[in-house]
């Protein structure tokens, strides 16, 4: 996916329009031998145009579309997904989310992913490109019931790398939570400010422009999964990566020179581990080829 190298006058636009308030609620259910999108509600510019079954009836794929393409100061995007018992939903996006610079309020995106007993949920979006001067707030909450399984990732590019832009102003705040049967398994908060020492420090991003986190959430983490993940690659292009785990969550992290490099590693991990984690061979979504 190429970075958008154009620089629209976002700060001026933010002063002349009302912020977007967009909500999308999706519910998937198992019907006989198929997973179907049985409920779809939306307000504002956040939609699913259609559901697909590229792997057959068992897996329902939904493409989440934000037609404006960019998220400006004051915008709020809320996505709520529920996967019913024994259903399998895979959610992807057609392109990168662009977080525009803001001289005023922050922009927010809240994602809530719920999987009932026996369900499989995959949240596999393209990256977020955080423009220099953006003020972004993101949260992902994964709620699992009984033996449900989820694979979730989040990739961020700080600045439009293809245009030579760096993240010299603004801030990005992130929160990720994983809950099973009401018990908190994993929580992480992060705050990155433009031109901060964290961007260059070795314990931080070490000068890399992109980073990402991938979570494999299951009732128990098989030690073989870590061995497989570590065999996928010990590093990625112009960066590095690592895999670890806590009870119920395996965490893969990377930092790299570009979001594309991070995505390539995550997609390779997904391909190597999907059959082990959710019992289905990897079939790469066609949108990953764009």
Identify the pLDDT of residue 164.
Answer: 80
Residue 172 pLDDT exceeds 90:
yes
Residue 8 pLDDT exceeds 80:
no
Q: Is pTM beyond 0.95 here?
A: no
Q: Computed over its alpha carbons, how large is the radius of gyration of the chain?
A: 18
Mean of all residue pLDDT scores within the chain: 90
Residue whose tokens read 């690592």? 242
Q: How far apart are CA 223 and CA 214, in angstroms?
A: 17
8 A C-beta contact, residue 74 and residue 103: no
Q: How far apart are CA 277 and CA 131, in angstroms?
A: 35
On the CB side of 122, CA atoms within 13 Å amount to 26
Residue 255 pLDDT exceeds 50:
yes
Residue 40 pLDDT exceeds 50:
yes
Identify the pLDDT of residue 231.
Answer: 87
Q: pLDDT of 70-87, one tens digit each?
A: 999 999 999 999 999 999
Identify the pLDDT of residue 290.
Answer: 66
Residue whose tokens read 């190298």? 5
Higher pLDDT, 232 or 149: 149
Identify the pLDDT of residue 9.
Answer: 41
Residue 20 pLDDT exceeds 90:
no
Identify the pLDDT of residue 239.
Answer: 64
Residue 269 pLDDT exceeds 90:
yes
Q: pLDDT of 127-136, one tens digit each?
A: 999 999 999 9
Q: pLDDT of 200-225, one tens digit each?
A: 898 888 889 899 999 999 999 999 99
**What is the DSSP code (8-state) at residue 33?**
T
Identify the pLDDT of residue 41.
Answer: 95
Identify the pLDDT of residue 203.
Answer: 86
Query: What pLDDT band is residue 238 in, cutting at 50, 70 and 90?
Result: low
User: Per-residue pLDDT averaged across 143-152, rounded?
Assistant: 98
8 A C-beta contact, residue 156 and residue 123: no
Query: What pLDDT band is residue 67 in, cutting at 50, 70 and 90?
Result: confident
Query: What pLDDT band is residue 11 in, cutting at 50, 70 and 90?
Result: very low
Residue 63 pLDDT exceeds 90:
yes
């Amino acid at each position: 996916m190429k970075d958008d190298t154009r620089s629209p006058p976002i700060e001026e636009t933010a002063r002349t329009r009302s912020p977007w308030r967009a909500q999308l609620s999706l519910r998937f259910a198992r019907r006989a031998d198929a997973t179907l999108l049985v409920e779809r509600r939306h307000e504002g510019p956040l939609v699913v145009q259609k559901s697909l079954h590229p792997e057959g009836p068992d897996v329902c794929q939904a493409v989440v579309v934000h037609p404006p393409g960019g998220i400006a100061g004051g915008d709020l995007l809320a996505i709520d997904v529920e996967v019913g018992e024994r259903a399998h939903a895979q959610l992807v996006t057609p392109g990168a989310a662009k977080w525009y610079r803001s001289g005023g309020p922050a922009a927010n995106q809240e994602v809530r992913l719920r999987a009932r007993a026996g369900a499989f949920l995959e949240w596999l979006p393209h990256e977020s490109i955080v423009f220099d001067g953006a003020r972004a707030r993101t949260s992902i909450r994964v709620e699992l019931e009984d033996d449900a399984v989820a694979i979730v990732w989040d990739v961020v590019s700080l600045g439009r790398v293809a245009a030579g832009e760096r993240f010299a102003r603004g801030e990005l705040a992130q929160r990720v939570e994983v809950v099973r049967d009401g018990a908190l398994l994993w929580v992480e908060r992060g705050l990155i400010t433009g031109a901060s020492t964290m961007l260059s420090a070795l314990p931080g991003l070490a000068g890399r422009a992109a980073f990402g986190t991938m979570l494999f959430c299951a009732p128990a983490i098989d030690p073989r999964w870590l061995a497989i993940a570590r065999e996928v690659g010990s590093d990625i292009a112009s960066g590095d990566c690592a895999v670890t785990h806590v009870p119920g969550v395996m965490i893969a992290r990377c930092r790299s020179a570009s979001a594309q490099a991070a995505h390539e590693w995550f997609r390779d991990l997904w391909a190597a581990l999907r059959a082990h984690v959710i019992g289905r061979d990897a079939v790469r979504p066609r949108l990953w080829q764009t």
